[in-house]
Amino acid sequence: MNARQPSPNAQLSEFLSRFPPEIVALAKRCLLKLRRAFPGSYELVYDYSDSLVVSFSMSERGYEAIVAIAIFPRWIRLYFDKSLPDPTGLLEGSGAKVRSVTLKAASDLDHGDIHALLKAAIKHSGVTFPRTGSTRMIIKSESKKRRPKRAGNA
């Protein structure tokens, strides 16, 4: 084992490398926009065997996340707390804690119903974010077992 652990950003890049290029590009654009939306927050990274989850929280505790993005081989979903009001019925799922929406483009985060949900999630959390500040990335878990990258998904 290496004496020096790679930086969290390097680890995130490594985790993303197993996904198809178009998903990686979309994930990077979405993460950039979410970092701007949640300045000064913790960016908690969970590497699972078939997905990668990045949550944004004001603490190192994942269960306090305001939103999370889940990256899968063929799509990306944005997760919100189940108790968040959803006046347009955009959120899907019947999970005990979260509901989600598929992101088709990073611009989905900038306008329309998804943007309104992001603003509502911030308000619902009761957190006041500074106007500036960088997120602090923490690798919370790393999968020991990964599905191999599927050929032909480029």
Q: Angle of helix 8-16 relative to helix 21-37, nearest 10 degrees?
A: 140
Instruction: Give the model's pLDDT for residue 153.
Output: 43
Using CA atoms, how far apart are residues 94 and 100, in angstroms rounded to an integer?
9
| Residue 68 belongs to a domain | yes
Which pLDDT value is given to residue 81?
95
Determine, yes or no, domain membership for 147: no
Q: Which residues of the chain have pLDDT under 50?
A: 1, 148, 150-154
Instruction: Give the pLDDT score at 154.
Output: 40
The pTM assigned to this predicted structure is: 0.87
What's the angle, vertex CA 72, arms to CA 134 and CA 78, rounded to 5?
50
* Range list of H helices, the chain: 8-16, 21-37, 112-125
- What is the domain extent for residue 114? 8-139
Q: Provide the domain count of the chain.
A: 1
